[in-house]
Amino acid sequence: MKKLRAGILGATGVVGQQFVRILSNHPFFETVVVTGSARSSGKPYKDATDWIVTNNPPENVTDLDVLDTNTKVILRNDIDLVFSSLPSDVAYSIEDELASAGVPVFSNAGAHRMKESVPILIPEINPSHLNLVSSQQYGEGFIVTNSNCSTSGLVFGLKPLMDFGINDVIVTTYQAVSGAGRNGVGSMDILGNVIPYISNEETKIAQETQIILGCKENGKIVPAPFDVNASCARVPVLNGHLESVVVQLEREFSVDQIIEAFNSFSGEPQALDLPTAPSNPIIVCQEPDRPQPTRDLSLQVGDLGMAVKIGRVRKQKDRLNFFLLVHNAIRGAAGASVLNAEFARVKGVIE
Ligand X SMILES: NC(=O)c1ccc[n+]([C@@H]2O[C@H](COP(=O)([O-])OP(=O)(O)OC[C@H]3O[C@@H](n4cnc5c(N)ncnc54)[C@H](OP(=O)(O)O)[C@@H]3O)[C@@H](O)[C@H]2O)c1
Positions touching ligand X (CB under 6 A) are 10-16, 36-37, 39-40, 69, 85-88, 90, 108-109, 149, 178-179, 181-182, 328-329, 332-333
What is the residue-wise DSSP string for 170-214?
EEEEEE-GGGG-TTSS-HHHHTT--B---TTHHHHHHHHHHHHTS
User: Cβ 117 to ligand X, closest distance in Å?
Assistant: 20
User: Cβ 42 to ligand X, closest distance in Å?
Assistant: 11
* Catalytic (active site) residue 241: yes
Q: How many CB atoms lie within 10 A of CB 210?
A: 19
Nearer to ligand X, 37 or 266 (CB): 37
- Find out whether the peptide bond into 119 is cis, omega within 30 degrees of 0: no
* Catalytic (active site) residue 149: yes
Which among 26, 112, 241, 327 is annotated as catalytic? 241
Question: Which residue has its beta carbon closest to ligand X?
Answer: 13
Nearer to ligand X, 209 or 284 (CB): 209
Nearer to ligand X, 165 or 197 (CB): 197
Listed residue (144, 146, 141) closest to 130, CA to CA: 144
Which among 26, 112, 129, 149 is annotated as catalytic? 149
Per-residue exposure over 137-173, b if at least 16 CB sit within 10 Å of its own CB, e if not: ebeebbbbbbbbbbbbbbbbbbbbbeebebeebbbbb
User: Cβ 69 to ligand X, closest distance in Å?
Assistant: 4
User: Cβ 219 to ligand X, closest distance in Å?
Assistant: 27
Q: How many CB atoms lie within 10 A of CB 207?
A: 18
DSSP bridge pairs for 29: 4
Nearer to ligand X, 122 or 333 (CB): 333
Nearer to ligand X, 87 or 223 (CB): 87
User: Cβ 294 to ligand X, closest distance in Å?
Assistant: 17
Q: Which residues are catalytic?
A: 149, 241
